[in-house]
Amino acid sequence: MTLTVEHAEILIADGDGSPARGFLTIWNGTDTHAYLAKVSSEAFANIRLMRTPFNSDDDAAGPVGGPLLVPAHAELQMRIGGIHLLLADPASPIDQSESQRLMLIFDDGQEVEVSAYLVPSSDRLTSHRHGEADRSAN
């Protein structure tokens, strides 16, 4: 088995100039840990891995200090109030009818390209549990 991105969504900012936020669900079906080092995209000049401290509000998020662990035989699920992507400096206005390509780069040099769906509001993000049917986050 390999690394699989089960979900990739980008929550578009409300037009207030705030950066978009990205949420990925990455399944690591391998026998070894994987470490997500970087995410890049032609659509955004600046993408940072962010972490919100436990029991803090989302405004307290800060950069992840190094590669992000995706444990062996487990999944990493990014979500509001936890680990997420901060996508800033779009190359052009974002067309909300199109998905955006993201390149996930792991510390061992492996690259995984994924298409991230644009989501207009947080209540439309997918609520996911590995092995179960997905549902909206409401």
Q: Which of 38, 22, 8, 36 is nearest to 90 (CA)?
A: 22
Phi and psi, residue 116, nearest 5°: -100, 130
The string of pLDDT tens digits covering residues 17-46 is 788 999 999 999 999 999 999 999 999 999
The answer to whether the beta carbons of residues 27 and 72 sit under 8 Å apart is no
Q: How far is CA 76 from the centre of its chain?
A: 10
Which residues have CB under 8 Å from 28's CB, separation 6+?
Answer: 3, 34, 70, 71, 72, 73, 74, 75, 76
Q: Which of 123, 110, 99 is nearest to 26 (CA)?
A: 110
Q: CA torsion angle for 89, 90, 93, 98 (degrees, to 10)?
A: -150
The string of pLDDT tens digits covering residues 54-112 is 776 666 788 898 899 999 999 999 988 899 999 999 888 887 778 999 999 999 999 99
Q: The whole model's pTM is what?
A: 0.84
Q: Which of 98, 96, 102 is nearest to 22 (CA)?
A: 102
Q: Is the pLDDT of residue 126 over 90?
A: no
Q: Does domain 3-120 have CATH number 3.40.50.410?
A: no
Spans of all domains in the chain? 3-120
Which residues have CB under 8 Å from 83's CB, separation 6+?
Answer: 49, 50, 51, 52, 64, 68, 76
